[in-house]
Amino acid sequence: MIYEITLSVGKEIVNPVKEKIPLSVAIITKNEAQNLPACLQSVDFAGQIVLVDSGSSDGTADIARGFGCQVYNELWRGFGAQKQFAIDQCTHRWVLLLDADERIPAVTASAIKDIVDLDSDEAAGYSFPRKNFFQGRWIKHLWGGDRVVRLFRNNLGQMTTARVHEAVEVEGPVKALDVPLEHYTESNLSKLLMKIDHYSTLGAREAFDEGKRASVWTATFLAFLAFFQSYFLKSGFLDGVQGLTLSVAESVNKFFKYAKLSELGRKGKIDP
């Protein structure tokens, strides 16, 4: 089955570059059937798309095969290690790393095509400003400074081993592009709370392994500070009710990360 969709952002219709170019796209998934078609459609100009799935039950792998992806089924290794496995399966000289909830708009597709076609040694990797959306709104102020490295030469980029907030490390110069990568973050509040629970657990484990300790009082103070920074210092209040919701979510995430770190310190373990 071939899945065909048209992407739109506001009034702009996104029509990515259609001809295939020698570019590998690496994606990891688990139950991303809702997000995946738009992601894959936005990179249909890539000569290879590698998708590593970790036990989806919603048809994610079938959607990927319908788009012609190379699909690998792998047990979960952790964010960094799972993405590194996907990168290791890429065969083209240039690799683009994406999450299933991210999109490449037309202007960015054209810039990537130019980079791959030119194949200059000017840079080993490229970073993109990430345009984040939440509940249908571009979070322009709170998340306005977000920039990520996602395009790199195959032999010069690799993932960090962090449990959470993993990133691409590039051996060589990284050039900053001014064309965006679009990110449609989880907007369902129930799922957002589940994500906070998962990420705060990973963050607590990582902090514990680094020798850090905390108390519930520390967690409370840091949660208050996180809200103040997000809503006021980073101008989350200019992003409307979505900015308020995200500022509260950041505060909750911070509280539970350090409350779980406190629990680790008391018990020496934490529930999975």
Show the domain range for 252.
Answer: 189-267
Residue 52 and residue 79 in contact, taking contact as beta carbons nearer than 8 Å = no
In order along its 272 residues, the chain shows pLDDT tens digits of 333 333 444 434 344 446 899 999 999 999 999 999 999 999 999 999 999 999 999 999 999 999 999 999 999 999 999 999 999 999 999 999 999 999 999 999 999 999 999 999 999 999 999 999 999 999 999 999 999 999 999 999 999 988 778 999 999 999 999 999 999 999 999 999 999 999 999 999 999 999 999 999 999 999 999 999 999 999 999 999 999 999 999 999 999 999 999 999 998 654 44
Choose among 108, 85, 111, 92: nearest CA to 46.
92
Q: Flag whether 65 is in a domain.
A: yes
Say how many domains are in the chain.
Answer: 2
Among the candidates 126, 161, 184, a domain finishes at 184
Question: CA–CA separation, 8 vs 151, rounded Å?
Answer: 23
Same domain? 206 vs 246: yes
Asked if the structure places residue 245 within a domain, the reply is yes
Asked if residue 18 is part of any domain, the answer here is yes
